Structure 1
């Protein structure tokens, strides 16, 4: 059987040895090996430029993302990940607010100390 010629970037692709059913999967769980390969792929930019997933209505993995009908699919979160992320964001916001309040208190004290003169 005749294999199509591959360009140099395709031969260097981290997914080159993966099954087409993995690379062109529409489901995240089945596409996971291809997504992991993309994370370390040295030619992901070339791949995205050649495939042009948004323009070609691509289904599968390209440039580290899963695409369905030319649109990137948002990864599903596992149970508890959303809550942990929200807690982390709220903790960071509370820390920022505390630091801002401390800075304001220090500035107010400095101003009050300077006006006693």
Structure 2
């Protein structure tokens, strides 16, 4: 039986020895070995460029992420599990609001509620 030729980056991929059912799984639990392999893979950039998951509607693991229909799947967290470091490092969009801005917004919301409540009584 003839094996298809692979490019040098494919031969160097950390997932090269894994079952296709693991690499192309749509479920995180089944894809876990491939995701672990991606974490230490020396050719993950080449993989993402070649596979182009978003453009090819890819299902499976590519470049350290699980993809379904060309969209990255967010990993599920169990209750009580800590937030991943990369998610915690993202800036809070409300942190830039000053106290005065927050008070103004709260005051406007209360004024709107008061108007609505007063309008119902008449």
**Residues of 2 paired with 1:94 and 1:15: CA distance?**
30
Report deviation, 1:40: 0.1
Report deviation, 1:78: 1.2
Report deviation, 1:109: 35
Residue aligning to 2:48: 48
**Residues of 1 paired with 2:74 and 2:2: CA distance?**
37
Provide structure 2 residue ranges, at least 5 long, that are not aligned to the other structure.
82-86, 110-115
Report deviation, 1:93: 12
**Residues of 2 paired with 1:56 and 1:94: CA distance?**
28
| Aligned-CA RMSD value | 9.4
- Quickly say closer, same or farther: Cα 1:98–1:115, change in 2 above 3 A: farther
- Work out the number of aligned pairs and report it: 108
Q: Which 4+ residue blocks in structure 1 deviate beyond 2 angstroms? A: 91-117
Q: Per-residue displacement from partner, 1:62-107 (whole Å, max 9, x unpaired)? A: 00000000000000001212xxxxxxxxx99999999999999999
- Quickly say closer, same or farther: Cα 1:55–1:103, change in 2 above 3 A: closer
- Quickly say closer, same or farther: Cα 1:42–1:108, change in 2 above 3 A: same
Q: Secondary structure at the match of 1:95?
A: coil
Provide structure 1 residue ranges, at least 5 long, that are not aligned to the other structure.
82-90
TM-score after normalising by structure 2: 0.67
Q: Whose helix fraction is larger, Structure 1's or Structure 2's?
A: 1
**Residues of 2 paired with 1:17 and 1:11: CA distance?**
9
Bigger Cα displacement from structure 2, 55-64 vs 102-111 = 102-111
- Quickly say closer, same or farther: Cα 1:115–1:108, change in 2 above 3 A: farther
